[in-house]
Amino acid sequence: MGHAELWAMIAVACIFTAIGIAAGIMLNSWIQKIQKDSAIKSADKIKKDAEREAEHLLRDARVSAKAETLKMREECELELKERRREQTTNEKRLAQREELLDRRADSMDAKSKNIEKQEKEIETLRERLTAREQELAKSISRQIDELERIAGINRDEAREILLEKLKNEIKNESGLMVRNQLEEAKARSEREARRILTYAIQRYASDCTYERTTATIPLPTDEMKGRIIGREGRNIRAIEAATGVSILIDDTPEAVVISCFDPVRKEVARQLMERLIADGRIHPTRVEELAKKISKDLEEELYQVGEAAVLETGIQGVSPQIMKLLGRLKYRYSFSQNVLQHSLETSYFMGIIAAELGLDEQKAKRIGLFHDLGKAIDHEVEGPHAQIGADLLRKHNEAKDVVHAVAAHHGEVEPESLYDILISACDTLSASRPGARSETTELYLKRLEQLETIAHEFSGVESCFALQAGREIRVVVLPEKIGEGEAQMLAKDICARIEKEMTYPGQIKCTVIRETRSVEYAK
């Protein structure tokens, strides 16, 4: 193919391309024109539809507005009628009130006139009374002068006589009133206390039997005394040096006596003597070895006993030193009552009664268990055991109220809380229950003598008798010196004196007997 033909084909192709482009442009213009005409028609239709819809909405709005206007008009007319009705009612009420006020005003005017009339009458009566009082004062003055002349005493002396008589009458009446009030309060408190104490005792019942402390060691034969003494007394000196006790060997057959204020040392000496007697080998070396072993074993036992007491009561946070001191109370006795057992009893009573009264049961048990802790070392430290125990507890960071209750359980410190009073009552309850303690005949006689001596020192006492081993005293008074009301005050004074000067377990009952006899003879 030549160049001419190629160029001819290119030219033909260009022509056809130009024709296609021109045809596309014409087609696009035609399509745009058709779309424009369609859009105009649609817009006209939408506009007509909107105008018709607007006319319908406007017509509906006018109808609704007319209906709403009619409704509002009706409501306004109803409200207006209601307000007119209320206004009419209020006008009637105001008219009635005005009429009532007018009547009250007329009544007040009448009362005011009546009051003025009564004031005038009262003023007249006051003037008459003033004049009458003046006349009476003159008459009384004349009568007093006449009475002074007849009686032979002046007014001041008569006043003193009357005041003295009135004083005696008031004293007698106050004594009777105090007695009645005390009897009533005592009856109420005794009923409540009896209920609580009965409940506590019912829940805790201990044996009435008790151990008796003894320092007497039985011997198989009297020959054993010589072996205990040893050559030139070296064995007995070794025993006393190792244990810190005194060994008394007298004419008592087949027995030796151990004497020591420290109950733990006494127990070490007792066990040592029993082992030496059972073993038969008695010499200083053997004594020292056994004494050290027994002392070590006893220290462990004391801790275990104290720990067992703490676990038994259920309290927590007790230091090992306190447990060890509690264990020492196992070998301490008071009036033949074991102090550790007494502390446990007191702790039980404290817990039961505290629960009954709504107090802290754990704190109450803690106070009861620790209250006699000072007795573990009272032979080593000077002072009352209550204060010693309080100091020990204070050193071991016990609570302040626990320490104060322990210090106050014998009344040496003023009570500050219910626990202070409760520990004193529970301590007495444990100590005075039947079978808890025993006393010697000498203490009985001493108590009887001291009670009768105290009662005889009061004026007006004719005789007195101590009964029930010193737990009751009956005082017979002279009726011409002691009145009915003064007898109650005398009983109270005697009890206060007994509490101040005597030491005794439990309580002492004081009964004042006043008897008046009138005797005549028919002739």
Q: How confident is the prediction for the chain on average, in pLDDT?
A: 80
Highest mean pLDDT among 222-231, 299-308, 460-469 belongs to 299-308
Contact present, 474 and 465 (Cβ < 8 Å): yes
Burial code of 113-135, b = ≥16 C-beta within 10 A, e = fewer?
Answer: eeeeeeeeeeeeeeeeeeeeeee
Contact present, 516 and 479 (Cβ < 8 Å): yes
**Residue 205 pLDDT exceeds 50:** no
Burial code of 56-88, b = ≥16 C-beta within 10 A, e = fewer?
Answer: eeeeeeeeeeeeeeeeeeeeeeeeeeeeeeeee
The token pair that represents 196 in the structure block: 């609580």
Highest mean pLDDT among 59-68, 154-163, 455-464 belongs to 455-464
Cα–Cα distance, 371 to 347 (Å, whole number): 9
Q: What is the band of 270 on the pLDDT scale with cuts at 50, 70, 90? A: confident
Q: What is the band of 170 on the pLDDT scale with cuts at 50, 70, 90? A: confident
Cα–Cα distance, 373 to 378 (Å, whole number): 9
Percentage of residues in the chain having pLDDT higher than 90: 0
Q: How many other CB atoms are found less than 10 A from the CB of residue 260?
A: 20
pTM for the structure as a whole: 0.47
Q: What is the band of 283 on the pLDDT scale with cuts at 50, 70, 90? A: confident
For 90-142, the pLDDT digits (tens) are 999 998 988 888 888 888 888 888 888 888 888 888 888 888 888 888 888 88
Q: How many other CB atoms are found less than 10 A from the CB of residue 259?
A: 11
For 462-516, the pLDDT digits (tens) are 888 887 767 788 999 988 888 877 888 888 889 888 888 887 766 788 888 887 7
Q: What is the band of 210 on the pLDDT scale with cuts at 50, 70, 90? A: very low
Identify which has the larger pLDDT, 459 or 470: 459
Burial code of 218-239, b = ≥16 C-beta within 10 A, e = fewer?
Answer: ebeeeebbebbbbeeeebbebb
The token pair that represents 459 in the structure block: 């004026």
**Angle of CA points 378, 214, 338, to nearest 5°:** 50
Rg of the chain on CA atoms, in Å: 57
pLDDT for position 212: 42
Alpha-carbon distance values, 165 to 160, 162, 172 (Å): 9, 5, 11
**CB-neighbour burial class of residue 420 (10 A; exposed 0-12, middle 13-18, buried 19+):** buried
pLDDT for position 2: 56
For 339-361, the pLDDT digits (tens) are 888 889 888 888 888 888 888 88
Percentage of residues in the chain having pLDDT higher than 70: 86
